[in-house]
Structure 1
Amino acid sequence: MTIRSLLFPSRLAAPMIAWCALSTSVVLAAGNQFVVKDIQVEGLRRTEAGTVFSYLPIRVGDTFNDEKALQAIRALFATGFFDDVKISSKDDVLVVTVVERPAIASVEFNGTKEFDKDTLKEALKGIGIGESKIFDRALLDKAEQELKRQYLSRSRYGAQVQTRVDQLARNRVAITFNVDEGEAASIKQLKILGAKDFKEKELLEEFELGTGTWTSWYTKNDQYSRQKLSGDLEKLRSFYLNRGYADFNIENTQVQIDPNKQDIYITVTVKEGQKFKFGDVELSGELIGRENELKSLLLIKKGDPFNGEALNESTKAIQDRLGNYGYAFANANVIPELDRENRIVNVNIAVDTGKRVYVRRMNVGGNTRTKDEVVRREFRQFESSWYDSRKIQLSKERVDRLGYFSKVDIETVPVPGTSDQVDVNMQVEEKPTGNLLLGAGISSTDSLILSAAIQQQNLFGTGKTVGLELNTSKVNRTISFSLTDPYYTLDGVSRSIELYNRRTDPSALNLGDYRIETTGAGLRFGFPISEFERISFGGGYESTKLDVGPLSPARFQQYVRDFGSSADAYLINAGYSFDSRDSAIAPTRGRVTRLSAEYATPLGDQEFIRTTYQEQVYFPFGKKYTLALNGEVTAGFGLGSSKYPIFRNVYAGGIGTVRGYRSSTLGPRDTDNVPTGGSKRLIGNAEFFFPVPGMNKDRTFRAFTFLDAGNVYQSDEKINLGSLRYATGLGISWLSPVGPLKFSFGIPLNKEPQDEVQRVQFTIGTGF
């Protein structure tokens, strides 16, 4: 609850003051009547005379009497501008004498740490206590009491709030709230009485409140809140209902505060009752001729143990299915009948479809940077069409999969004054979509080294992705540019452009007698073939130069002898992808399939092909846990008389492949014991995500355990499952302000002597 909502005072004070003042403010003799020739107002400093006349129910020419006097005084007191009002007359001239209430010159807070001072000032200003406002003691007293209650909601039962009003010149006042917040009370004891079939410890694990853990400084779960306790009691009730205890009851809840106002004791008394089974399960009401279809959605059947969650999910599934046919406000109401003697629950689900409706408008909010059209082009529910809950949910998932937003919410709102129209409101929360890495260094050989890499996934809010990388190191120099437009055409055809120049020159620092320089360009188009599937086609050109010396690694010298020091490749590539994840940020369910092939045509110096197949699957376990599986197979082959180029080898080891091993060190090595990579790679990953204690509701910050397997193989080797390297460990996944971050601690399970271990690893921007 916000401060503002708690600070609205009663307006009954003004009429009460008016009635109390009447006996002293009318100075006319009883029964005196006259025709008003003129009206004079005295005592005004800030208030305009016209303001008084606008509220005064008397005009020149009116007959004035005692009743009119009472009406006038009531009206002027009701404005809240005056502390006193007197009405008199002289020679048929009505004289209104007022004493203005002071104006508020300043509002200050002393001792407030729990609440932001500016927030408090804005809240007070909204109810009439702020700079330049008219001072009203009744409003001030109300604000003081509500501020005290706000501290009580934060478990600060010893908080004291005192106000001081200082009179200033020119009929002004300065208001100061002096606050002693005291210490926040914490839950000293939380007990559940009456439980027999379950241990108290198991039941308390369902509670958000507790006696405090090492994360309580952040979660504040040891601070009592009536709302949190109500939520915990509902979780406790669901716990029993989901395990068959249909007659479960919370008989009593006691919250006691120690006299020291620092310790809170909570006692919950329950009656478990007996375990029940489902009896007859029936559907009734408006079934729109789809009784069999709706029955197939039921997750319960006769003889099953009673399960409240399964019953709720069944009714929700029925409502969602009816929503697919335009019944946005369909209800499936459960009418249970308990047979305590036989311990069964007969269930009748009464269906009320309501009126079929259509969508008037699809509204988008919260996109402060992203253009409306970028969000709207993902919608599958159209305006002026029949409401379809399936298409609305699909629209939400497609927007979430963009990766531009940390939060996407959607709600359906009835259109006022109609019974068959709704508006669908989507509220998004922007997240940083750019990654920027800058680096600089100085060495005796390289002088100044500059490096920069930038990627913006939502360039200027247009949905386009641009990437630029620059590295001036003498060993690894890179210049690359890429641009992707996901909606190059209105039909969703995408276009990607890439230009790059990469040079590896270890000889510059006497690290190896060879140099590799690759220059290339590529163009690719993607075509949607269904809601979840895309195919892509493209082409490119790549030129590679390899310079070797007498001390170069043997594999490079042999390659130059066989194929020469330069190679041109004219590439054709194709791909297929399927993506049904519920989110691109933190998926909990769905599947991703990627299949790609790259073919170097005979127009170049070498003919080869490389294919990659990747499969990712996400399985939810309840609302908190997710199992993610990933598998990848890459294979490259030389065609005709060509061998597969060694500079296109793939590598394994490190985060993204097999954690716990140093990056790109697994697999074959040359005579110099340097990892060579290979033309084939097999990778498998399993990750089990779970919430970090105290951060259950933050899906962008999760912990995980993992099991990795993988290795690489040369062209003349067969993939040998017995040579796979395995590793396990723990990690943290966090959607940081600079991009998705993964930190892992890996333990190799079958390390060989030549393998290099690296237990702690992290990366920004990878999925596995």
Structure 2
Amino acid sequence: MVYRFIVFTLMLFWTVAYCSDDVIISNYKLPKNNALEVYEKTKDLELLKTLFEQTNDFESIEIKDNKIFLEKKPTLKTLNISGNKSFWKSEIKAITGLNENYTFDTSLLQTIPLRIRQFYADKGFLFTTVDITSNYTPDGYATINLKINEGKKTKLNDIIFLSDQSISELDRITFLKVLKLKKGDYLYFDEIEKKIENLLSFLRKGGYYDAFVNLQDIEQVNENYANLYVAINFGTKYTVNFKGNKAFNENELRKLLTLEENGFNHYQLNKSKENIIEFYKGQGFLDVDVSYEVSESEDLYQGLYSLFSIININIEEGQRYKVDKLEVKTDTPGIMDGVKKILSNYYNQRELKEFLEKREEDFYSKGYLSVNYSIKENVKDNGLVDVEISFYKGKQYILTKINQENYKTKIEVKLPKIYDPKEIVEIQKTLKKSLQEDGFLDGDVLLNVITQEKEDKVEVIADFVYEKGSIYKNGITFIYGSNYLNPKVVKWQLREKDTFDSKVVDVAINRLYDSRLFDYINPVFLKNEEEKVLDKALILHDDKRGLLQGSVGYSTDQQFKVSAALILKNLFSYGLESSIYLERSNFQTNYRLSFGSRLLPYGLTSFISPYKNIQYRRYFNLSSQGFDFFIEKFHNKFVRLRITFESKDSSLDKLTLPSPVKSYSQFKISLSLTDDHRNSKIDPKKGYLFISKISKSFKDIDYYSGELSLRLYSEFFNYLVFSPRFSTGYIFKNNNTLPISERYFLGGISSLRGFGIDEVAGEKGIGGNSFILINNDLRFLVYPKYNIYLLTFYDLGNVYTDFKEYKSHKFRKTAGIGIYVPTPAGSLILDYAKKLDRKPGESGYRIEFSIGLDF
């Protein structure tokens, strides 16, 4: 504390370098923020204090003399860990809770050695020691050193029992068997605690309901061995005797006692008594009477223990009743047969209730909301009972219509359907959330359920009434946390309107994440209910500015594929990015240098990339070099529009098909639209992905072209996903005048399965100026734990040389089965595809495999 006080005092003299106009005074330099801009706009220090509090970066924030004083937590620059021979540094780092380049609370350092020792103790190192030291620089950066002396894994030397009563050698041997420990066993602290619990459970089963067992001490004998001291407080020995029980044995009745779990007291005795009575009555003993008595003895118990208590439970069973008259009133077939089966022998009240309750739950889940049952008993003196059962399921409730008043939100509910009150309440919560996301932050949604009774059912109308209130205006936006990015760039992403719109914020956050500049983004909303204004805070934390990525994959199309990329991010504090990308596979060699930004104003992204690409195709090799430049516009988190300019020079060699030219220059303009409504990018089960592109090629190659692709995803029964895809493309140019590298070919694991890459070249075998491809996938989730799907598919497709062929769309057809495992690092795909229209000279099937990446 003295050190921190000295540092804070010194830093007060340096705050002029860290603030403007002496309004914000901090002991350490702050990351980039727009706090002064917020203050100039609002002149509200209380608001500024609230905003700084959202960052969790400060130990104290005070307002004094029209200034705000910040005591910033230190930032961890380096965490040095030594001595960890048995575990990775990442494991130790996770235990500390410390992250480099993040601020931390210095008071937490005191608990770190304890947490690490506990971790080691659970792994068998009971005598590990940990030393922690820390050094701080004047500008608030800390270096923390952790020195670990693991010692050796600890083995058991002996167990010493400490008790309020003497323990015989025979009992000691028994206790050791219960603990399942012997000399030389490795000791794991978390397992020791479980073994102690097992011993306590054993003692309580033996009648020591008040027993208490704990690990008193661990004594280190030498470097490898230790003694365990186990303290046992036996308390009173209880013996439970059952008297009068003829129908059921003691083992069945002991299961009804609550003494083992909860200890001995009169409340537990009464609870046990009630359980026994309920059990007997459930088995037809309607006149059962149960009482208990407790007596203590000072006599020796088996010559070992001086104090024990006897609990006598007296049971007067009475008669076991049979059903004399049975009357069942019901509108439900099957109830009578089930009841008769249960009551065919003795009157079993418990089983009867369980049967009726289960049927009641089943019908309720199917929309019979008024289902109910009752049981009336008339007990006679001769051991007989008359039973009257009433079970009515009533009418089924069907949700037929959903109305929305004063506002409208899209609801994905297929009507009519079984009415479920819980589902309607969840819809109400969703509508309220949607209303608030649209800026009506005080809004509410009221629910009015209207029923209309018909002959065989009850129709339900759910009427949702919106109480919107006032829409909130956008207030200030506080931006804090980046050490490199200018806050102005973050504000560009918000494109704020006068009124609050959560969709704008969602798009901004998605863009910030997609920029790969941050590993942490926390949006905070501060609501001013009086003025109907919403202030926002975006708390950021930078990721590494440089990134080296590499990947390795394999597919039967490209065989091995290796790629590497060096990325430099957030250049010049404006989010600019530069990267070098290298790729090599049996299909192509690709070199690309890119420069641009993902965080331009107006939701734009733009990159320019010179490149060189060599493709090794089935019918030719293609070498291209040039550059492309694109501008992409994000309209919302689903839709983006991209315009691309490309200029390249290409040359062909190793041709096995004729081509009108072997080298050409090309300038191409493309406009593409992507609408991605998939519910997951890795493993989509609902939604769709639509991609369309129109292009114009100039210079040596002159043509227009258009392509589109639509893939749908539908899930059934929570384990089956149907995913059809339709793709087509058309080049408005005579096929014979197109270089072979500009023509369409199909085939491969991501195209027309069952054919090799480029194998489908059309009826004339020369490629085409158009194509149609239809994929139909049906995935079955067979192993949810590892997200493993069984896949069956049916593909159709071909390429065409003119519009007449395109209109006739004669298809090649394949079908097959496979295994599909989607992962964030790329999918694993193994499939067997069979040609359904095999031609002479073609193989009949193809086994395809891809791992690591989606090619």
Q: TM-score w.r.t. structure 2 length?
A: 0.46
Q: For 2:712, which of 607, 617, 626 is the aligned residue? A: 617
> What does the per-residue CA deviation read over 1:232-276, in whole Å, with 9 as the maximum and x for residues that have no partner?
xxx99998655213257999xxxxxxxxxxxxxxxxxxx994553
The answer for the alignment partner of 2:642 in structure 1 is 536
- Give the RMSD, CA atoms, in angstroms: 6.7
SS of aligned partner of 1:759: strand
Q: Which of 717, 740, 758 is the aligned partner of 1:664?
A: 758
Residue deviations 1:287-344, cap 9 Å, x none? xxx835469969699x974334652354235424532351357354677999999975
SS at match of 2:601: coil
Matched, 1:608 2:682: no
Within 5 Å, which residues of 2 pair with 1:155-554? 163-166=215-218, 241=364, 243-247=366-370, 273-277=393-397, 291=405, 293=407, 305-308=418-421, 310-323=423-436, 324-327=438-441, 330=444, 332=446, 344=458, 358=472, 388=501, 402=514, 436-437=550-551, 452-454=562-564, 466=579, 468-471=581-584, 478-483=589-594, 485=596, 487=598, 489-503=600-614, 516-528=622-634, 532-546=638-652, 553=656
**Aligned-partner residue type, residue 615 of structure 1:** L
Q: Which amino acid in structure 2 is aligned with residue 244 of structure 1? A: G
Return the alpha-carbon distance in structure 1 between the equivalents of residues 530 and 410 of structure 2.
33
Q: Corresponding residue for 1:632?
A: 727
- Cα displacement (A) at 1:657: 0.9
The aligned residue for residue 280 of structure 2 is none
Amino acid at match of 2:805: K
Contact 1:405–1:430 (8 Å) recurs in 2:
yes
**Structure 2 CA distance, aligned partners of 1:684 and 1:360?**
50
Residue 481 of structure 1 aligns with an amino acid whose one-letter code is R
**Does the Cα contact within 8 Å between 1:110 and 1:178 map onto a contact in 2?**
no
State the partner residue of 1:680: 770
Query: Aligned equivalents of 1:576 and 1:682: distance in 2?
Result: 19
2:745 aligned residue = 651
8 Å CA contact retained: 2:624, 2:648: yes
In the alignment, is the contact (CA less than 8 A) between 1:318 and 1:332 conserved in 2? no
1:556-588 Cα shifts (integer Å, max 9, x gaps): 4xx3xx54x432223333333333444433344
CA contact (8 A) 2:521 2:541 kept: yes
Does 1:586 find its partner at 2:683? Answer: yes
Provide closer, same or farther for how the CA distance between residues 599 and 349 of structure 1 changes in structure 2, counting only shifts above 3 A. closer
Asked if the contact 2:694–2:706 (Cα under 8 Å) also holds between the matched residues in 1, the reply is yes
Change (3 A) 1:378 1:730: farther
SS at 1:658 equivalent: coil
What is residue 27 of structure 1 aligned with on the other side?
Answer: none
Tell me the equivalent position of 1:572: 669
2:256 equivalent in structure 1: none
Given the superposition, is the C-alpha separation of residues 423 and 740 from structure 1 closer, same or farther in structure 2, using an over 3 Å criterion?
Answer: farther
Q: Within 2, Cα distance between the matches of 1:533 and 1:458?
A: 27
Aligned length: 524
Instruction: Verify the 8 A CA contact 1:298 1:314 in the aligned structure 2.
Output: no
Aligned to 1:223: none
Once residues 250 and 151 of structure 1 are traced to their aligned partners in structure 2, the CA distance between those partners, rounded to angstroms, is: 44
Residues 818 and 829, structure 2, Cα contact 8 Å, conserved in 1? no
Alpha carbons of structure 1 residues 647 and 243: separation in structure 2 relative to 1, 3 Å: same
* SS of aligned partner of 1:631: strand
Following superposition, the deviation at residue 633 of structure 1 comes to 0.8
Q: What amino acid does structure 2 have at the position aligned with 1:494?
A: T
When residues 177 and 348 of structure 1 are mapped into structure 2, their CA distance, relative to the original with a 3 A threshold, is farther
Cα offsets for 1:41-96 (capped at 9, x unmatched):
xxxxxxxxxxxxxxxxxxxxxxxxxxxxxxxxxxxxxxxxxxxxxxxxxxxxxxxx
C-alpha distance in 2, partners of 1:362/1:623? 42
- The answer on whether the counterparts of 1:300 and 1:310 sit within 8 Å (CA) in structure 2 is no
Cα distance change, pair 688–433 in 1 and its aligned pair in 2 (3 A)? farther
**Aligned partners of 2:503 and 2:801: how far apart in 1?**
48
Other structure's SS at 2:682 match: coil
| Distance in 2 of aligned mates of 1:688 and 1:405 | 38
Q: Distance in 2 between matches of 1:248 and 1:379?
A: 55
- C-alpha deviation, 1:652, in angstroms: 1.4
Q: Secondary structure at the match of 1:735?
A: coil
What one-letter code is carried by the residue in structure 1 that aligns with 2:693?
A: S
Q: How big is the shift at 1:609?
A: 3.7
Deviations 1:341-360 (A, max 9, x none): 99758788786959768587
The gaps in structure 2 that reach 5 residues or longer are: 1-112, 131-148, 150-161, 163-188, 206-211, 232-330, 335-357, 375-390
| Cα deviation code 1:409-448 (max 9, x no counterpart) | 99988879999768799999999998624699xxxxxxxx
SS at match of 2:429: helix
Cα deviation for residue 492 of structure 1 reads 2.5
TM-score, with normalisation over the residues of structure 1? 0.51
Percentage of identical aligned residues: 14
Q: Does 1:752 align with 2:817?
A: no
Q: Deviations over 1:210-234 (max 9, x none)?
A: xxxxxxxxxxxxxxxxxxxxxxxxx
Q: Deviations over 1:376-401 (max 9, x none)?
A: 67976969x7655666666777788x
Deviation at residue 758 of structure 1 after TM alignment: 1.8
Assess if the C-alpha contact under 8 Å between 1:381 and 1:387 holds in 2. no
CA–CA separation in structure 1 for the residues paired with 2:794 and 2:710: 16
Verify: 1:706 aligned to 2:793, yes or no: yes
The CA distance in 2 between the partners of 1:282 and 1:740, in whole Å, is 41
Letter in 2 for 1:521: F
Q: 1:334 to 1:535 in 2, by over 3 A?
A: closer
In the other structure, the counterpart of 2:21 is none
* Alpha-carbon distance in 2 for matches of 1:412, 1:272: 53
Relative to structure 1, the CA distance from residue 375 to residue 407 in structure 2 (aligned partners, 3 Å threshold; closer, same or farther) is farther
In structure 1, what is the Cα distance between the partners aligned to 2:371 and 2:495? 42
1:1-150 superposed matches below 5 A:
148=194
Residues 341 and 659 of structure 1, relative CA distance in 2, 3 Å threshold? closer
Secondary structure at the aligned position of 1:686 is classed as strand
Tell me, yes or no, if the aligned pair for 1:278 and 1:305 is still in contact at 8 Å.
Answer: yes
The answer as to whether partners of 1:728 and 1:749 remain within 8 angstroms in 2 is no
8 Å CA contact 1:654–1:661 kept in 2: the answer is: yes
- Shift of the alpha carbon at 1:277? 1.8
Residues 166/299 of structure 1: CA separation in 2 closer, same or farther (3 Å cut): closer
| 1:170-191 Cα distance to aligned partner (Å, 9 max, x none) | xxxx997999xxxxxxxxxxxx
1:364–1:755 Cα change, 3 Å: farther
Distance (Å, rounded) in 2 between the aligned partners of 1:146 and 1:334: 58
- Check 1:649–1:332 CA distance in 2 against 1; reply closer, same or farther (3 A cut): same
Give, in whole Å, the separation in 2 of the partners of 1:272 and 1:352: 37
Contact 1:644 1:715 in 2 (8 A): no
SS of the residue 2:737 aligns to: coil
After superposition, the C-alpha distances for 1:435-469 in whole angstroms (9 at most, x for unaligned) are 624699xxxxxxxx998423589957969684622
CA shift, 1:766, in A, is 3.9
CA distance in 1, matches of 2:762, 2:393: 66
CA contact (8 A) 1:370 1:458 kept: no
Q: Name the stretch that deviates more: 567-576 or 412-421.
A: 412-421
Which digits, 9 at most, give the CA deviation of each residue in 1:602-636, with x for residues without a partner? Answer: x32x4334432222333455766544332211223
